Amino acid sequence: EINGATADFNFVRGNFIGTAANGTDPLGNSADGVEIVDASNNMIGGTTAGAGNVIAFNGTEGIEVAGTPATGNAIRGNSIFNNGAIGIDLSALAVEGDGVTANDFGATADDDEGANRLQNFPVFIGQATLLGDSIAFRYRVPTNTANAAYPLTVDFYVADSANQEGRIFLASDTYSA
């Protein structure tokens, strides 16, 4: 657990959280795999070789981010699967375990409160197309440009079949308003 305003700028990289060292055998706990509360600018994982964590078989969320301030926390390149609840939960103000936070389409201010200011998530446009060993798709991020730090980095994953968590990191894209 990374907890409190003085618990900023931590790195959690290359760990097996809830699994044995082989990354597939369960050793989970009854709570979250990683929990960030009222802390900012922490990095969970990363996209360089060996930086991503395996976070699986935990009793609740794979990663829970809650509180205010809890901004600037990056969660990237991890393999998250088979947890008791969703893979990453960006909770509203002090409401841990509140599940997927809906996008606030059409909001005039879009200056949400809560963990990481509850940045809207990407929305796919149309169907994906398989092109040999590649996939092509279009997406957008429905966020008020005045309240987002553009350009955004959007990571893409293959979901596990059980909970639709991000099991396999595919690639990143830079999204500009």
Neighbours of 37 (CB within 10 A): 19
In the predicted model, is pLDDT for residue 163 greater than 80? no
> What is the rounded CA–CA span in Å between residue 108 and residue 103?
13
Query: Is residue 167 a contact partner of residue 159, using CB atoms and an 8 Å limit?
Result: yes
In the predicted model, is pLDDT for residue 2 greater than 70? yes
Task: Express each pLDDT in 74-114 by its tens digit.
Answer: 999 999 999 999 999 887 655 667 777 777 765 555 555 55
Residues contacting residue 98 through CB under 8 Å, at least 6 positions apart:
89, 91, 92
Task: Express each pLDDT in 25-80 by its tens digit.
Answer: 999 789 999 999 888 899 999 999 999 999 999 999 999 988 777 788 899 999 99
Exposed/middle/buried for residue 15 (C-beta within 10 Å: 0-12, 13-18, 19+): middle
pTM of the model: 0.87
Cis peptide before 69 (omega within 30 of 0): yes
Q: Which residues are bridge partners to 2 per DSSP?
A: 36
